[in-house]
Amino acid sequence: MSKFWTYLKTKDFRNNFLAAVGSVLAVILIAYLSLGYYTRHGSGVPVPKLKGLSIDQARAIMEQQGFRYQVDSVYVQDQAPGTIIEQDPDAGTNVKEGRTIYLTMVTTEAPEVSLPELDQSTYREAVAILSNNGLKVGDTTYRSDIARDRILEVTFGGQIIKTGFKLPKGSKVNLVLGDGAGANEVDIPDLLNQDLDAARFAIRGAGLTVGSITYEGSITDSTNVVVVSQFPMPTDSTSKTSIGTRINLTVSQGKKTDEPQPEQP
């Protein structure tokens, strides 16, 4: 052991040790310089700003500056088709000539989406559902119906469309809503030729009120009269009236039920 320590103190050991360290440092330095030369470390050209340009403009710039490129597409509402919205590497980054630049542009054709289920949804619900499915609300119109602000119909391009109908993403659909008026209106019953008791029953059953009763002609049996006119009465232009409306009747003497009927020939 004492000989080993003695050897460490000799000039030969020091020379060999220094030679070994120098060799290692020389190898490292040569490798570093060679790698830098091979990779051209610190040299390069800045990536041009392509974001916001059209795809044709971006291609012209990259071909002029010697870059290669790959283009991916994505649909974005309210963005002009063909516009570059992302680039990698970012503008200003130093890269080698011939580097591939990755671009994302807005696609020129919107993907199709299906009309979601909207039947009997409220207007607010419909707006949220359509938005979540990439659609928008266009015009809204109202139609007499008991369901206030409920979706009755959905139209697109002037045609009624149903759940599952395919539309370009971002399309506007028109909604037909109930105005709630149906809750306050009822059909006017046709009471002509009905006996008075049946007419009264029909009026009350329809949610209306029996108004004045006018007797026409000679009445010999008040329990046997029939309706000969009414106001209001149903017509082609007016078939509904408000709940509680008074129905005025004109009645006349009905035929006796025990009168002999004429014989059939």
CATH of 112-183, one of 3.40.50.300, 3.90.1150.10, 3.30.10.20, 3.10.310.10: 3.30.10.20
Where exactly are the structural domains of the chain?
8-39, 45-106, 112-183, 185-253
Residue 198 token pair: 């049946």
CB count in 10 Å sphere of residue 81 = 15
CATH architecture of the domain formed by 45-106: 2-Layer Sandwich (3.30)
Q: Do the domains 112-183 and 185-253 sit in the same CATH topology, yes or no?
A: yes
148-182 pLDDT per residue, tens:
788 999 999 889 999 999 998 888 999 999 877 66
pLDDT the model gives residue 1? 56
Largest CA distance in the chain: 156
95-137 pLDDT per residue, tens:
887 889 999 998 877 788 999 999 878 999 999 999 999 899 9
DSSP code, position 82: T
24-66 pLDDT per residue, tens:
777 777 766 665 554 444 557 889 999 989 989 999 998 888 8
Measure the CA–CA gap between 203 and 189, rounded to whole angstroms. 7
pLDDT the model gives residue 265? 46
- For the cut 90, the answer to whether the pLDDT of residue 202 exceeds it is yes
CATH architecture of the domain formed by 185-253: 2-Layer Sandwich (3.30)
109: left (phi over 0), alpha (psi -120 to 50) or beta: beta
Mean pLDDT of 68-90: 85
